Chains A and B, each alone.
Chain A
Amino acid sequence: EVQLVETGGGLIQPGGSLRLSCAASGFTVSSNYMSWVRQAPGKGLEWVSVIYSGGSTYYADSVKGRFTISRDNSKNTLYLQMNSLRAEDTAVYYCARDAPWFDPWGQGTLVTVSS
């Protein structure tokens, strides 16, 4: 079964850092494009970042320079390193296989940025 499981969310103070993980099963992360998408409470969906199978990475302007997407091929896991966090980064963060449509999605992990 193709599945994604995110972990790593939590409460973090403004300016802090957090790393999200997304463990995949049923397919190989490194052979696929993989994306992070977030959803602020009560709001719509916002694409955050993508990593291509070849390793190229791209970001939404709202997170460029603060977030880094990466993967560990040996662990078949996708990551999102988030630095300099702001209140407006508060959201549920989903990882998704980007093939090129988002399918499947993980269940999401909540990141709350607040003092």
Chain B
Amino acid sequence: EIVLTQSPATLSLSPGERATLSCRASQSVSSYLAWYQQKPGQAPRLLIYDASNRATGIPARFSGSGSGTDFTLTISSLEPEDFAVYYCQQRSNWPPSVTFGQGTRLEIK
């Protein structure tokens, strides 16, 4: 099973700053990686798919990069509504399964 490790566990920044979140896979997942944002009491929301493609309606300040085993989610200039928990996710084709990273909590400094 592919394990996804996110770092840091918690990131404390101020609005307007740049956020860089990391996701490392235990083996190559090519570009088959997604990022989700989850706010308290809400369902997760898809931000990025295929490592670098923004989902519909996602602001341009969110960007994803990486391939193989190392991936990054960047928020160029934090808005107050961006403070949330972020998860990365990959899927394996055989046997079919999905794994999530443990999450990075982005909190206001």
Query: A-side interface residues toward B, CB under 8 Å?
Result: 35, 37, 44-47, 50, 58, 60, 94, 100-108
Contacts and interface: CB of A to CB of B under 8 A. Distances in A.
B29 interface: no
Contacts of B8: none
Q: Which secondary structure dominates where chain B touches chain A? A: strand
Interface string B8-31: 000000000000000000000000
B73 interface: no
22 contacts: A35-B98, A44-B103, A45-B36, A45-B38, A45-B87, A45-B103, A46-B100, A47-B99, A50-B96, A58-B96, A58-B97, A101-B34, A101-B49, A101-B55, A102-B44, A103-B46, A103-B49, A103-B55, A104-B46, A105-B43, A107-B42, A108-B43
A57 to B, nearest CB: 9
Q: Which secondary structure dominates where chain A touches chain B? A: strand
A47 B100 CA distance: 8
Nearest to B46: A103
Contacts, number: 50
B95 interface: yes
- Listed from nearest, the 5 A-B pairs whose CB atoms lie closest are A47-B98, A105-B43, A103-B46, A58-B96, A101-B49
Contacts of B101: 44
B72 interface: no
A101 B45 CA distance: 11
B103 A106 contact: no
Contacts of B103: 44-45
